[in-house]
Chains A and B, each alone.
Chain A
Amino acid sequence: MDLWGISYELTSFLIDIINFFIYGLGWLLPGVLGDAFNGLGDWLASTGVLNILTMIVEALIVLIVAILNVITLIWIDRKLLARMWDSRGPFYVGPLGYFQNIADGLKLFLKQVITPSKADKLSYHVAPVVFIGSSILILAVIPLSPGFALSYERAPIPGGVLFAFAIFAIAPFSILVAGWAQNNKYTLIGGMRSAAQMMSYEIPLLLSIASVFLLAGSFNFGDVVEAQANIWFAIPLFIGFVVFLVCIVAEIERIPFDLPEAEAELVEGWTTEYSGMRFGFFLMTQYIRGYAGCAIAAALFLGGWHGPSIIPDEIWFLSKAYIVFLIFVWMRASLPRIRTDQILDLGWKRLLPLAMINLIIAVAMKTSGWF
Chain B
Amino acid sequence: MAEMWINMGPQHPMTHGLWNLRIKVDGEIIVDAVPEIGYLHRGMEKIFEHRTYPQIGPITDRLCYGSSFTWNHLYCLTIENLMKLEIPERAKYIRVMVIEMQRIASHLMWIAAYAADLGLLAGFLWAMREREIFLDLMQALSGSRLTYNYARIGGVAADLPSDFERDALRAVNYFEKKLEEYEALYRDSKIFLMRNQGIGVLSKEDAINRGVTGPTLRASGVKYDIRKDQPYEVYEEIDFEPQSSPDCDCYGRYVVRMNEMRESCKIIRQALSKMPQGPVRVKTPLIGPQGDAIGRVEDPRGEGIMYVIGDGSEKPYRLKVRSPLFVILSAARQMLVGYKIADVVAIMGSIDVCMGETDK
Contacts and interface: CB of A to CB of B under 8 A. Distances in A.
A85 B134 CA distance: 20
Contacts, number: 74
B15 to A, nearest CB: 9
Contacts of A341: 28, 340
Interface string B203-215: 0000000000000
B189 A335 contact: yes
B342 A336 contact: no
A1 interface: no
Given A85-B126, A86-B129, A265-B342, A336 B6 contact: no
In this complex, the member of A86, A87, A337, A339 whose beta carbon has the largest number of chain B beta carbons within 10 angstroms is: A339
A179 to B, nearest CB: 14
Contacts of A340: 28, 340, 342
Contact of B122 (A84, A186, A189, A342): A84
Contact of B342 (A255, A263, A339): A339
Interface in A36-73: none
Given A185-B4, A267-B12, A337 B191 contact: yes
A338 B125 contact: no
A259 B12 contact: no
B120 interface: yes
A339 B343 contact: yes
B343 A335 contact: no
Contacts of A265: 14, 341-342, 345
Contacts of B12: 267
Contacts of B194: 338-339, 342
A333 B122 contact: yes
B13 interface: yes
B195 A337 contact: yes
A256 interface: yes
A29 B115 CA distance: 75
B126 A337 contact: no
A83 to B, nearest CB: 11
A335 B191 contact: yes
Closest 6 CB pairs of A and B: A337-B119, A336-B120, A264-B14, A336-B118, A85-B125, A264-B117
Given A84-B122, A334-B120, A336-B119, 20 more contacts: A85-B121, A86-B125, A86-B129, A87-B125, A263-B14, A264-B13, A264-B116, A266-B341, A267-B13, A335-B120, A336-B192, A337-B119, A337-B120, A337-B195, A338-B191, A338-B195, A339-B340, A339-B343, A341-B28, A342-B194
Interface of A: 81, 84-87, 185-186, 189, 255-256, 258-259, 262-267, 333-342
5 contacts: A85-B126, A263-B14, A264-B13, A337-B195, A338-B195
